[in-house]
Structure formats: C-alpha cells, structure tokens
Amino acid sequence: MRPACAEAQGPAWSALSPEQKKILAPLQQDWDKFDAERRKRWINLAARYPSLPPDRQQRIQQRMREWASLTPEQRTQARERYKQLKQLPPEQHHELHQRWHEYQQLPEEQRQKLREGGTPAGAPAK
C-alpha cells in the first residue's frame, strides 16, 4: 500500500512506463519535486508525444533539457515572466510573439550579440 502523500503527488518516476520515462527523461531529476497537477500535465504530453510531428517532438525535448538546466532562481524568474505574459492584452501578446519568432529566425551569432546588448549586423536599431 502506498502512503497517502505519495498518492497526492501523482505517480512516482518508477511507476512510469518505459516509453513515458524515455520521453520525459530530461525531467527525471525534478520529477519528485513536481506536484500532482504538473505530473499529470507531463504524463498527458507523453501520451500525445508519439503522434506529434518530429519537429515538435524535437522542440519539446529541447525545452525540457533547457528547463532542467535552469537554476531554481532562473525557474522562478521564468515562471514570473510567464505569468506576466499571460496577463498582457491579446494585441501586445501577439506583438511579442511575432518579435520572438523573428528573433528565433536570426543566426546564432546575431542572437548572441543581442543577448549581450548589441544590435546585430544588418538589423535596424530600435
């Protein structure tokens, strides 16, 4: 019989299927820290994952690895930014999404320059 607190947290990592473990592998170290709702969302994603296009699967894996590499402080900051973005009016949200998409299309060296506070060559200064 499992303890009540384990039931409230959702399935333990050891209770996941081999396919779920493979898909969710980047989250293994943090799985025990997730609440039941977060575990449920990840399990639901793992169920849909095989039917997703390969580029979407790749993006999900990359984002899980990036999240796993963040420090607790960086994760807190990311959650706060997410909450702020969700509160924006739809037109502002759309504009930010468009700017993010444009940023993602830039070559890595230009993105690095922007991260360092510069303007990439060939990009208009704002």
Supply the pLDDT for residue 55. Answer: 94
pLDDT of residue 123 exceeding 60: no
Q: What is the pLDDT of residues 23-42, one digit of tens each?
A: 999 999 999 988 999 999 99
What's the chain's Rg over C-alpha atoms? 18
Q: What is the pLDDT of residues 10-19, one digit of tens each?
A: 899 999 999 9
Supply the pLDDT for residue 61. Answer: 95
Prediction pTM value: 0.64
CA dihedral 3, 5, 8, 13 (to 10 degrees): -70
Question: How far is it between the farthest Cα atoms of the chain?
Answer: 64
With cut-offs at 50, 70 and 90, classify the pLDDT of residue 101.
confident
What value does the mean pLDDT take over residues 109-126? 69
What value does the mean pLDDT take over residues 69-95? 89
Q: Which of 34, 22, 19 is nearest to 61 (CA)?
A: 22
- Residues near 75 by Cβ (< 8 Å), separated by ≥ 6? 67
With cut-offs at 50, 70 and 90, classify the pLDDT of residue 3.
very low
pLDDT of residue 96 exceeding 90: no
Quick one: 23 exposed, middle or buried, by C-beta within 10 A (0-12, 13-18, 19+)? Answer: buried
- Residues near 13 by Cβ (< 8 Å), separated by ≥ 6? 21, 28, 31, 32
Domain boundaries, the chain: 7-69, 71-116
